[in-house]
Amino acid sequence: MSTMSPNMPLCACGSKKFRPVEAGKSRTGKRIYTVACVECQKRKDVSKTVYALCKYLMTHEPTKAFLQLFEMES
């Protein structure tokens, strides 16, 4: 069994920079995590892990090793 690292989503505009927007429940009770592209403001539903990663990146300066782990080289 292989473990995959979560990859940042890719926006239609080509950006990989997102900010967390909303975390909550839908009408059916399913958890929803939404992020928005920093450049074009389009929203995208993502997994809990990607949402937490976006939230972390908004408050911390990541190291190069961290960026390589999540395939986010600038």
Q: Is residue 7 part of a domain?
A: no
pTM of the full structure: 0.72
- Residue 12 in this model has a pLDDT that exceeds 50: yes
Q: Is residue 2 part of a domain?
A: no
Q: Is residue 39 part of a domain?
A: yes
70 by Cβ neighbours in 10 Å (0-12 / 13-18 / 19+) ranks as middle
Q: Is residue 31 part of a domain?
A: yes
Query: Which pLDDT band holds residue 64 (cuts at 50, 70, 90)?
Result: confident
The pLDDT assigned to 35 comes to: 93
**Domain around 60:** 18-69
Q: Is residue 4 part of a domain?
A: no
Q: Is residue 1 part of a domain?
A: no
- Decide which of 41 and 16 is more confident: 41
Count: domains in the chain: 1
> How far, in Å, CA of 32 to CA of 17, rounded?
19
